[in-house]
Amino acid sequence: MCSRYYISPVIGEVLSALTHQPVSFQSRDVRPSDTAPILTASDGKLGLSALEWGFPASDKKRIINARAETAGEKKLFKRGLARHRVVIPAAGFYEWNALKEKHRFSRKDAPVIYLAGIADRFQGRPCFVILTTAANASVAPVHSRMPLVLEPEQLVPWISNGGATDTLLKQTPAALYGQTDAHQLSMFD
């Protein structure tokens, strides 16, 4: 589930306006272990940091996602959920269906999708994971899980207000626009 997402230059423009910091990005896919931009907050103001995607696991693999429904119960995620909530800005994310076809999901009404996440330090490095939830109607035909998507007005409450956490963890994300890179060729095209 959500093992890759992508960023684009327009995200830099949006984050510059949100954080009042000059930010620019090149278009690229973000993969586990990559360093990527995340939103944090201090004194109710959004800021930008760069963290590594995935918590290192003992078998040299990375844990890149945490289930929103159980993150507060798991030792690995409990502290991050309580004290280090972050937001991962993305232009969109990818999911693969049972036939291994890649589907790209984004918003038609906004250039940025805000993914809920948590952060912590491992081996001296700051890392983050993306929280996932049950897929909404737009993603369910492709995959049973999806990132927990936040609305722009939920960014500061998610990061700063522990009282909002439980409500936000249980919400159903807004509908997304999906498209696939696979297409059927026609003899008549």
Q: Which residue has the tokens 């036939």?
A: 99
Q: What is the pLDDT along the chain (189 residues), one digit of tens a residue?
A: 568 999 999 999 999 999 998 888 899 999 999 999 999 988 878 999 999 999 998 777 899 999 999 999 999 999 999 999 999 999 999 999 888 889 999 999 999 999 999 999 988 899 999 999 999 999 999 999 999 999 999 999 999 987 889 999 999 999 999 888 654 433 343
Query: What's the chain's length in residues?
Result: 189
pTM, whole model, 2 decimals?
Answer: 0.92
Q: Which residue has the tokens 């990061």?
A: 159
Cα separation, 14 vs 137, whole angstroms = 27
* H/E element, 54: none
> Are the CB atoms for 96 and 129 separated by under 8 Å?
no
CA distances from 165 to 66, 123, 170 (A): 15, 27, 9
Q: How many CB atoms lie within 10 A of CB 62?
A: 19
Domains and CATH numbers, the chain: 5-180 (3.90.1680.10)
Cα separation, 20 vs 17, whole angstroms = 5
Nearest alpha carbon to residue 91 among 168, 144, 14: 14
- DSSP single-letter state for residue 73: G
Q: Which residue has the tokens 């609305």?
A: 151
pLDDT on residue 182? 56
